[in-house]
């Protein structure tokens, strides 16, 4: 998956490329083959992470290290909605598709930001969106765009009108389920996972027929009775063991495997009552795309008591004959995993870690006994929000570096036993910052996957929730909690350009091109901003 | 099972009116049902403590002793009313215009049930201290000491005073006695919080900046706000400076507060107690 296809290098060539898109090409069907060959049409951004490998890398290079300083805002689209705007837009043949807060969605003229259609999900008043009424984006396939909703539905919209084509219930949201991720379209399937690790759900990954909405398979992230791994749960705790899959997976067409990551066991920071490793919480799962059968798993944090969800997009990278998955985990370790076997290659800390001070024979970090939450509180790093979180990292094949948003924040973890009650928040614990501590901060870190070592870092004044994009222009784009969106030199980490968006960035950037012009897009506050050369 | 939610309750204004007129009808949110026997109260306080940790401790601190954001709730007198019904209202509806959210608005979708709110109130009652600094300190004397110690040079109370330090009008009720003592004795240990932006997780703190401008001018002040590229600062003459960091000759930020540390020789324990009693009387007048 590291075939790197360069597109024409000059603006002129881009114009030629745009000219090749005859008007009839607008709204051509997005076939499964186009998704597989996403690298062949770098002017489009066809899926959440840009490609099936989850790299969030754009081969566009009109905007590059030489001219990034002249980047200018082109247009903004205001959703006028409160709360966090976490979506990554898709762009297909000049049209931008995005979702927003409260399951709204819109299609825009990607040149101007002018809306073509808008959609607003009629949500029940009692949805359970643990951590914000967010939606991270669409998947596209055929002539439909697909979103998951806070009331745990999957909805297919007509890409030309925004009309609902089909709408299926994955499960009863009142038990604490919701969907916040952007689905993944593969072959004729729409893949989703569920959120709800704070409500005692039983997580799963589903595949739906893109044409009809019929469910083709479901993989429960917690094995049922008789299944391998079921004995890693005490008593009936498996029924309410959480393990949601709330961030978009990746796909390897060579092995027909889709990779998904899972979140914390429930209750999130209290291990009492769920003795055992609690499979497959906080794990990387390799599933057969056609059947949903588990091929292998790797569990990052066993019997987790610190909310160390593994929910980062699995990033597929090939190094020679090694086929790998890279993940900077919430628990503070950067993992390299063999994606044909699920075996750990290496695990090195990329942020401050106090929960673990040893490794087992495979090299997997082991939790310290005294890192467990207590009634009076235990100070542990990283904190519950993790050394990073759902915001996307990027892998840049030009520098061979992995870039991730790191959060240097610790928390005090305290137990607060509570009985399970269906649909009710089920933490069993609490966590809060230690206000005696030095201020928390963040950094964009460039990590060499070959060694796990830090190549460079750019410090943020406070921890941020912005993801990262790399481009063939030698640039890294990211944002910060102070509202800046910025371009850095991928090789050195030097900031080349920045723009103040007016509110914290809670999203990952993307890039597209139209009419020979490359754009960079980012959501911040309640607006979607785009930037291009003057 | 039917679970009553907070929207079963009436709008605040109407609820207050009802409370005024129908004092004989004791409704679910007026009276704590768990005050009867000591054993029940103890059990409910325990459940309430767990609820408190999960829902309240993030701002109000473990043990309800106050945190960076929320007031010390072990104090018997609460800013927004101390009766059971007041506490229920504050928890259920929040306090408009403050960081105190309504029940169920803390991103969890579903809030605490009325029973759980009463458990929390029972817990708060169990940790309340019966004697406050206010009761033992002399607020009138504290007011004189506040002026004599020149606190007002940097701190404002009810619109009068300096601008360099935090406004102390509501500090008395918003912070614990221990926090306030610590702020005076050891101001560097925990800096006061400043501006809090809508979408930003952490507030700016009252850090100190030392700046040398391009022309060599040296300035010291309090950081009003800061990002990776710019700095907004107030100097000791209350002048606001707006800087691009890359245009400064040097920029250094420290967590050594511009607030001097006052030891017991400068302000005795008794004097400090009186000053805090004054702050309490200002922030939660009778």
Q: What is the pLDDT of residue B130?
A: 67
Q: Which residue has the higher pLDDT, B129 or A363?
A: A363
Q: Are A66 and A77 in contact (CB under 8 A)?
A: no
C-alpha distances out from residue A291 to A205, A206, A252, A287, B227, Å: 12, 10, 15, 8, 49
| DSSP letter assigned to residue A17 | H
Residues in chain A with CB shorter than 8 Å from the CB of B50 are 416-418
Backbone angle region of A465, left / alpha / beta, with phi > 0 → left and psi within -120 to 50 → alpha:
alpha
Give contacts of A416 with chain B, Cβ < 8 Å: 49-54
Does the beta-carbon distance from B227 to A377 stay under 8 Å? no
Q: Which of A42, A119, A136 is nearest to A85 (CA)?
A: A136
Name which residue leads in pLDDT, A179 or B193: A179
Residue A111 near residue A518, CB atoms below 8 Å: no
A40 Cα distance to chain centroid: 23
Nearest chain B residue to A126, by CA: B109
pLDDT tens figures, A283-311 = 999 999 999 999 999 999 999 999 999 99
Of A307, A396, A411, A489, the catalytic one is: A307
At residue A329, the 3 state secondary structure works out as coil
Contact A298, A284 (CB under 8 A): yes
Which residues are registered as beta bridge partners of A471? A58, A475
Of B67, B108, B189, the CB nearest to A130: B108
| Cα-based angle A121, A126, A127 (whole degrees, multiple of 5) | 55
- The rounded distance, in Å, linking the Cα atoms of A507 and A478 is 9
The whole-chain average pLDDT of chain A stands at 93
**Mean pLDDT across the stretch A508-524?**
98
Residues of B in contact with A525 (CB under 8 A): 199
Query: What CA–CA distance (Å, rounded) separates A189 from A211?
Result: 9
Say which residues have a Cβ less than 8 Å from residue A516's Cβ, sequence separation at least 6. Answer: A11, A12, A14, A15, A16, A17, A18
Find the CB nearest A131 among B52, B67, B107. Answer: B107
User: A518: helix, coil or strand?
Assistant: strand
Q: Which residues pair with A488 in a beta bridge?
A: A476, A495
- B227/A429 touch (CB, cutoff 8 Å), yes or no: no
Chain A hits for B255, CB-CB cut-off 8 Å, are 438-439
Q: Which residue of A126, A414, A503 is in closest CB contact with B198?
A: A503
Low-confidence residues of chain B: pLDDT under 70: 1-29, 68, 105-110, 130-135, 285-286
Question: Using omega within 30 degrees of 0 as the cis cutoff, is the peptide bond preceding B221 cis?
Answer: no
Predicted pLDDT at B105: 65
Is residue A18's pLDDT more than 50? Answer: no
The answer to whether the CB atoms of B50 and A504 lie below 8 A apart is: no
Cα–Cα dist B54/A427, whole Å: 7
Return d(Cα B89, Cα B78) in angstroms, integer: 12
Provide DSSP, A251-287: EETTTTEEEEE---BSSTT--TT--S--TTTTEEEEE
Distance CA A318, CA A399 (A): 14
Residue of chain B whose Cα is closest to the Cα of A481:
B200
Cα nearest neighbour of A430 on chain B? B54
Measured between its terminal Cα atoms, the distance across chain B in Å is 43
**Residue B58 and residue A432: Cβ atoms within 8 Å?**
yes
Find out whether A475 and B230 touch, Cβ atoms under 8 Å: no
- CA–CA dist A286, A199 (Å, integer): 25
Q: Which is nearest to A165 in space by CA: A136, A198, A190?
A: A190
Per-residue model confidence (pLDDT) at position A22: 42
Q: Closest approach of chain A CAs to the CA of B232, in angstroms?
A: 13
| Contact between A118 and A138 (Cβ < 8 Å) | no
Predicted pLDDT of residue B75: 81
Maximum Cα interatomic distance, chain A, rounded to a whole number of Å: 67
State the angle between helix axes of B12-21 and B84-93 in degrees (0 to 180), rounded to the nearest 10.
160
Give the separation between CA B230 and CA A216, rounded to whole angstroms: 53
* β-sheet bridge partners, residue A414: A374, A430
Contact criterion met (CB below 8 Å) for A38 and A55: no
Distance from CA of B58 to the nearest CA of A (A): 5
| Residue reference for tokens 């901060």 | A441
pLDDT digits (tens, 9 = 90+) for A191-233: 999 999 999 999 999 999 999 999 999 999 999 999 999 999 9
pLDDT band at A446 (very low <50, low <70, confident <90, very high): very high
Question: Pairing relation of β-strands A469-471 and A57-58?
Answer: parallel
Assess whether pLDDT exceeds 70 at residue A78. Answer: yes
For the full predicted model, state whether its pTM sits above 0.80: yes
* For residues A439-461, average pLDDT: 96
Residue A175 has pLDDT above 90, yes or no: yes
Residue B172 pLDDT: 85
Establish whether this prediction's ipTM goes over 0.85.
Answer: yes
Residues of B in contact with A481 (CB under 8 A): 199-202
Pick A125 or B221 by higher pLDDT. B221
CA angle B79, B82, B87 (to 5 degrees): 95
Higher pLDDT among residues A83 and A434, named by residue: A83
For residue A458, what is the nearest residue in chain B, using CA coordinates?
B228
Q: What residues of chain A lie within 8 A of the CB of B7, using their CB?
A: 125
Query: What percent of chain A shows pLDDT beyond 90?
Result: 87
B228 to A498: CB separation less than 8 angstroms, yes or no: yes
pLDDT at A401 over 70: yes
- Check pLDDT > 80 for residue A502: yes
Most confident of A24-28, A431-435, B215-219: B215-219
pLDDT band with cut points at 50, 70 and 90 for residue A125? confident
Q: Is the pLDDT of residue A12 over 80?
A: no
In the residue annotation, A489 being an active-site residue is answered as no
Q: What is d(CA A343, CA A338) in angstroms, rounded to the nearest whole number?
A: 5
Closest chain B residue by Cα to residue A414: B53
Distance, in angstroms, between B51 CA and closest chain A CA?
7
The number of CA neighbours under 13 Å toward the Cβ of A15 is 3
What is the gyration radius of the CA atoms in chain A, in angstroms? 21
DSSP state of A156: E
The alpha carbon of residue B49 is apart from the nearest alpha carbon of chain A, in Å, by 8
Between chains, do A418 and B50 touch, taking CB under 8 Å as contact?
yes
Query: Which residues of chain B are within 8 Å of residue A439 when distances are taken between CB atoms?
Result: 202, 205, 255
Are residues A87 and A136 in contact, defined by beta-carbon separation less than 8 angstroms? yes
Nearest-CB residue to A435 (from B67, B197, B201): B67
What does DSSP assign to residue A235? T
- Three state DSSP letters for chain B: CCCCCHHHCCCHHHHHHHHHHCCCCCCCCCCCCCCCCHHHHHHHHHHHHHHHHHHCHHHHCHHHCCCCCCCCCCECCCCCCCCHHHHHHHHHHCCCCCCCCCCCCCCCCCCCCHHHHHHHHHHHHHHCECCCHHHHCCHHHHHHHHHHCCHHHCCEECCEECCCCCCCCCHHHHCCHHHHHHHHHCCCCCCCECCCCCCCCCCCECCEEEEECCCCCEEEEEEEEECCCEEEEEECCCCEEEEEHHHCCEEEEECCCCCCCCCCCCCCHHHHHHHHHHHHHHHCCC
Highest mean pLDDT among A20-29, A332-341, B6-15: A332-341
Six token digits for residue B128: 């309340």
**What's residue A429's pLDDT?**
80
CB contact under 8 A, B62 and A377: yes
Please state the rounded mean pLDDT for residues A179-184.
98
Residue A122: how many other CB atoms lie within 10 Å = 7
- Please, what sign has the CA dihedral across residues A74, A80, A83, A88? negative
Mark out chain B residues that contact chain A at CB-CB < 8 A.
Answer: 5, 7, 49-55, 57-58, 61-62, 67-68, 107-110, 189-190, 197-202, 205, 226-229, 255
Interface touch B200/A432, C-beta < 8 Å: no
């Amino acid at each position: 998956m590291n075939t790197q296809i360069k597109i024409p290098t000059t603006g002129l060539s881009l114009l030629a490329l745009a000219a090749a898109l005859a008007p009839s090409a607008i709204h051509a069907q997005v076939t499964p083959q186009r998704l597989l060959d996403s690298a062949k049409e770098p002017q489009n951004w066809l899926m959440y992470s840009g490609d099936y490998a989850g790299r969030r890398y754009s081969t566009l290079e009109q905007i590059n290290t030489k001219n990034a300083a002249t980047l200018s805002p082109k247009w903004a689209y205001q959703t006028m909605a409160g709360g966090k705007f976490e979506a990554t837009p898709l762009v297909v043949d000049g049209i931008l598709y995005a979702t927003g807060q409260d399951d709204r969605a819109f299609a825009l003229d990607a040149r101007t930001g002018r809306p073509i259609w808008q959609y607003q999900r009629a949500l029940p008043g009692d949805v359970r969106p643990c951590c914000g009424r967010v939606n991270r984006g669409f998947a596209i396939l055929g002539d439909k765009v697909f979103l998951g909703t806070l009331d745990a539905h999957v909805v297919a919209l007509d890409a030309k009108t925004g009309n609902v084509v089909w709408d299926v219930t994955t499960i009863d949201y009142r038990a604490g389920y919701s969907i916040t991720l952007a689905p993944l379209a593969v072959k004729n399937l729409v893949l989703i996972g569920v959120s709800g690790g704070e409500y005692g759900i039983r997580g799963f990954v589903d595949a739906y027929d893109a044409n009809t909405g019929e469910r083709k398979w479901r993989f429960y992230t917690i094995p049922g009775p008789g299944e391998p791994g079921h004995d890693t749960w005490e008593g009936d705790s498996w029924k309410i063991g959480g393990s949601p899959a709330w961030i978009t997976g990746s796909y390897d067409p060579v092995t027909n495997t889709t990779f998904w990551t899972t979140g914390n066991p429930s209750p999130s920071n209290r291990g009492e009552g769920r003795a055992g490793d609690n499979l497959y919480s906080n794990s990387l799962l390799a599933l057969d795309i056609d059947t949903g059968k588990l091929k292998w798993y790797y569990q990052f944090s066993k019997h987790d008591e610190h909310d160390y969800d593994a929910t980062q997009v699995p990033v597929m990278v090939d190094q020679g004959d090694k086929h790998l998955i890279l993940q900077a985990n919430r628990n503070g370790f950067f993992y390299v995993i063999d994606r044909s076997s699920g075996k750990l290659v290496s695990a090195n800390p990329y942020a401050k870690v106090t929960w673990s001070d040893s490794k087992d024979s495979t090299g997997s970090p082991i939790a310290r006994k005294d890192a467990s939450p207590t009634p009076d509180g235990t100070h542990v790093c990283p904190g519950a929000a993790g050394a990073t979180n759902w915001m996307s990292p990027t892998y840049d094949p030009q520098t061979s570096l992995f870039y991730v948003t790191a959060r240097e924040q610790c928390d005090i973890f305290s137990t607060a036993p509570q009985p399970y009650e269906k649909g009710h928040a089920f933490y069993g614990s609490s966590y809060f910052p230690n206000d005696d501590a030095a201020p928390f901060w963040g950094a964009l870190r460039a990590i060499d996957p070959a060694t796990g070592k830090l190549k460079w870092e750019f410090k943020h004044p406070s921890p941020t929730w912005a993801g990262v994009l790399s481009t063939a222009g030698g640039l890294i784009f990211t944002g910060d909690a102070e509202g800046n969106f910025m371009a850095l030199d991928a090789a050195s980490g030097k900031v080349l350009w920045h723009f103040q968006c007016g509110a914290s960035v809670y999203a990952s950037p993307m890039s597209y091109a139209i009419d020979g012009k490359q754009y960079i897009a980012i959501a911040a506050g309640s607006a979607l901003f785009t930037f291009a050369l003057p | 099972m039917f679970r009553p939610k907070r929207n079963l309750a009436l709008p605040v204004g109407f609820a207050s009116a009802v409370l005024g007129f129908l004092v004989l009808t004791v409704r679910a949110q007026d009276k704590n049902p768990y005050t009867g026997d000591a054993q029940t109260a103890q059990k409910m306080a325990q459940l309430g403590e767990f609820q408190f940790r999960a829902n309240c401790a993030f701002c109000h601190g473990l043990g309800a002793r106050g945190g960076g954001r929320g007031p010390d709730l072990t104090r018997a007198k609460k800013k927004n009313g101390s009766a059971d019904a007041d506490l229920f209202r504050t928890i259920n509806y929040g306090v408009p215009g403050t960081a105190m959210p309504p029940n169920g608005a803390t991103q969890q979708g579903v809030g605490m049930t009325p029973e759980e709110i009463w458990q929390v109130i029972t817990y708060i009652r169990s940790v309340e201290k019966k004697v406050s600094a206010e009761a033992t300190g002399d607020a009138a004397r504290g007011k004189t000491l506040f002026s004599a110690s020149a606190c007002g040079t940097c701190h404002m109370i009810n619109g009068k005073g300096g601008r360099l330090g935090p406004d102390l009008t509501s500090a008395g009720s918003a912070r614990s006695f221990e926090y306030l003592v610590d702020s005076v004795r050891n101001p560097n240990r925990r800096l006061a919080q400043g501006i809090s932006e809508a979408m930003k997780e952490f507030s700016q703190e009252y850090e100190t900046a030392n700046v040398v401008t391009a022309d060599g001018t040296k300035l010291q002040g309090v950081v009003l706000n800061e990002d990776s590229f710019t700095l907004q600062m107030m100097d000791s003459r209350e002048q606001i400076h707006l800087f691009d960091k890359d245009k400064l000759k040097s920029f250094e930020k420290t967590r050594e507060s511009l607030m001097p540390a006052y030891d017991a020789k400068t302000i005795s324990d008794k004097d400090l107690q009186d000053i805090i009693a004054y702050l309490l009387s200002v922030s939660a007048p009778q």
